[in-house]
């Protein structure tokens, strides 16, 4: 099994806070990998390190066979930040045009075609000339996703991509993610939504900067002898707390 992203004993410390606490993880190619965990678990921090815009305090990571942040990676990675990272004072099309150029789509025709494709995917074709600042929250989220996909990356990091997106479009997004998987694209997605998590090929459950468990949905369910992911997760949380108490005692 070829792995696209690998993290080994990652530690990330902010002043007084250990956001990642010796986290190791491996993501095989061509799947959708879900990162689950409560607020502050370290999902965004992990994604930032793998994308290469933050560096770990300790430990190492290999992404697409290179160190995160190396110039070869940048073109092949798409990153959708947790909050829509868009220029509010530019139109939808201008944002897409800009990121397409910066991410290396140099040919005008190719750029135009990709922009039309992603606009259609996020159902924003009619709104391409609207200023981003005039869009609703969910629409911004959709444009932000479009900007992350425009350069057709091989590895896509999506930090809670469907927050604020309505159910039918959410379904369309996931169908698209599956389609991308079948084309060999790997997606690493963080989420709080359990029914979304159930559509991931593999899951990693994070808590306090550590990986509690990882595997496919059925593996996790059988390991915890639960029938629903949500229950499995809560059970693991309880165990974690019990272990800590035991450790303290």
Partner 1 sequence: MSGTRILAIAQRIIRQFGHDKRTLTLLFFVPIVVISLLGPLLTTKTTFKIGLVDEDKPFAPPASAAAKPAVPPPVIPGMSPPALGNKAPGERPKPKPVKVSDRAIDALKADGDLTVTVVREKEIPSLLRDGQSVAVLKFPANFSKELLSGGSPKATIVVDGSNPSRAQGAIAKVQKALASQGKSDSKLSIDVGYRYGGDNFDALDYFAPAFIAFFAFFFVFLLTSVSFLRERGQGTIERLMSSPASRLEIILGYQLGFIVFATIQVAIIMLYTVYALKVHYIGNIGAVFLVEFLLTLVGVNMGIFFSSFAANELQVIQFIPIVIIPQALLSGIVMSVEEMPKYFRWLAEVMPLTHANNALKGIMIKGYSLGEVSFEIAFLIGFALLMVVLSAATIRRRIA
Ligand X SMILES: Nc1ncnc2c1ncn2[C@@H]1O[C@H](COP(=O)(O)OP(=O)(O)OP(=O)(O)O)[C@@H](O)[C@H]1O
39 phi/psi in degrees, rounded to 5: -55, 135
Cα 63 to Cα 26: distance, rounded to the nearest angstrom: 10
Q: Which does 54 bind (CB under 5 to 8 A by kind): partner 1, ligand X, Mg ion, none?
A: partner 1
Q: Does 82 interact with ligand X (rule: CB under 6 A)?
A: yes
Judged by CB under 6 A, the number of residues near ligand X is: 12
209 interacts with partner 1 by CB under 8 A: no
Interface segment toward ligand X; rule CB under 6 A; list 35-43, 55-63, 105-113, 122-130:
35-43
Q: Are 93 and 131 in contact (CB under 8 A)?
A: no
3 state DSSP class of 193: coil
49-52-58 Cα angle (round to 5): 45
Which residue, 40 or 240, has its beta carbon nearer to ligand X?
40
Say how many residues touch partner 1, by CB under 8 A: 31
Q: Contact at 8 Å (CB) between 10 and 56?
A: yes
Verify binding: residue 41, ligand X, rule CB under 6 A. yes
Q: Which is nearer to ligand X, 14 or 218 (CB)?
A: 14
Residues within window 47-86 making contact with partner 1, judged by CB under 8 A? 48, 51-55, 71, 74-75, 77, 79, 81, 83-86
Q: Which member of 33, 36, 44, 170 binds Mg ion (CB under 5 A)?
A: 44
Ordered DSSP codes for 8-50:
EEEEEEETTEEEEEEEEEEEETTSEEEEE--TTSSHHHHHHHH
Q: Could you say whether residue 99 binds partner 1 (CB under 8 A)?
A: yes
> 21 — phi, psi (to 5°)?
-130, 70
Nearer to partner 1, 2 or 106 (CB): 106
- Which partner from the list ligand X, Mg ion, partner 1, none does 71 bind, CB cut-off 5 to 8 Å by kind? partner 1
Q: How many CB atoms lie within 10 A of CB 136?
A: 9
The angle subtended at Cα 32 by Cα 92 and Cα 240, nearest 5°, is 115
Pairwise CA distance, residues 70 & 169, whole Å: 34
85 binds, among ligand X, Mg ion, partner 1, none (CB under 5 to 8 A by kind): partner 1
Binding of residue 164 to partner 1 (CB under 8 A): no
**Per-residue interface string for the shown chain with partner 1, residues 113-152, x marking contact by CB under 8 A:** ------------------x---------------xx----
């Amino acid at each position: 099994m070829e792995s696209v992203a690998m993290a080994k004993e990652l530690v990330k410390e902010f002043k007084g806070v250990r956001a990642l606490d010796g986290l190791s993880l491996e993501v095989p190619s061509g799947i959708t990998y879900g990162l689950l965990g409560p607020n502050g678990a370290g999902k965004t921090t992990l994604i930032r390190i793998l994308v290469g815009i933050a560096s770990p305090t300790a430990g190492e990571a290999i992404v697409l066979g290179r160190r995160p942040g190396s110039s070869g990676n940048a073109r092949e990675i798409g990153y959708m930040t947790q909050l829509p990272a868009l220029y509010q004072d530019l139109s939808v099309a201008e944002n897409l045009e800009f990121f397409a150029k910066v991410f290396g789509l140099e040919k005008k025709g190719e750029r135009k075609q990709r922009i039309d494709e992603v606009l259609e995917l996020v159902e924003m074709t009619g709104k391409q000339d609207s200023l981003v600042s005039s869009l609703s929250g969910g629409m911004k989220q959709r444009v932000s996703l479009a900007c992350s996909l425009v350069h057709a990356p091989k590895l896509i990091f999506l930090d809670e991509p469907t927050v604020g997106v309505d159910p039918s479009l959410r379904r369309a997004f996931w169908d698209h993610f599956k389609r991308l998987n079948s084309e060999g694209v790997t997606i690493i997605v963080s989420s709080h939504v359990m029914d979304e998590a159930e559509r991931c090929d593999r899951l990693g459950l994070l808590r306090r900067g550590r990986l509690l468990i990882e595997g496919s949905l059925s593996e996790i369910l059988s390991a915890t002898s639960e029938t629903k992911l949500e229950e499995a997760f809560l059970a693991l949380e309880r165990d974690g707390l019990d272990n800590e108490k035991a450790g303290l005692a």
